[in-house]
């Protein structure tokens, strides 16, 4: 029967032994400045307002369609609401130093030229 050698990990064996010292800084924690938090909150509020405007515009167009409006007018109103929404998202993102995401691609799909 083979005997197994016991292994006693000591700090010298650990490549990151000093990570657990009281003076070590916590890894992976980002310090967020208050301005950044304000920018994120402002952008979220702007996107929420833009979403509400889009929904309101589409609801009004749908009401008009149901009361005898044309399908072309409904489609045009929905497209205009979408374009306005994505333009608002881009504007807010740029002014608040936030990522734009797929807003440019969405505008291109809607036929907006840059």
Q: Let me know: does 19 contact 27? Beta carbons within 8 Å.
A: yes
Long-range pairs for 97-103 at CB < 8 Å and ≥24 separation?
97/36, 97/39, 98/39, 98/40, 98/43
Instruction: With H, G, I as helix, E, B as strand and everything else as coil, classify residue 82.
Output: helix
- The per-residue pLDDT for range 63-90, each reduced to its tens digit, is 999 999 999 999 999 999 999 999 999 9
- The per-residue pLDDT for range 16-67, each reduced to its tens digit, is 555 555 555 555 555 656 668 999 999 999 999 999 999 999 999 999 999 9
Pull the structure tokens for residue 50: 């833009």
Whether pTM exceeds 0.75: no
CA torsion sign for 89, 94, 95, 97 is positive
pLDDT at 12 over 80: no
């Amino acid at each position: 029967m083979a005997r197994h050698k016991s292994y006693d990990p000591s700090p010298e064996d650990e490549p990151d032994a000093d990570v657990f010292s009281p003076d070590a800084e916590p890894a992976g924690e980002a310090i967020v400045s208050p301005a950044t938090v304000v920018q994120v909150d402002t952008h979220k509020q702007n996107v929420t307002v833009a979403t509400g405007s889009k929904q309101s515009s589409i609801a009004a167009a749908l009401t008009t369609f149901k009361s005898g409006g044309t399908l072309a007018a409904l489609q045009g109103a929905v497209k205009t609401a979408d374009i306005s929404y994505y333009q608002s998202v881009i504007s807010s993102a740029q002014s608040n130093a936030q990522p734009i995401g797929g807003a440019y691609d969405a505008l291109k799909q809607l036929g907006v030229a840059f």
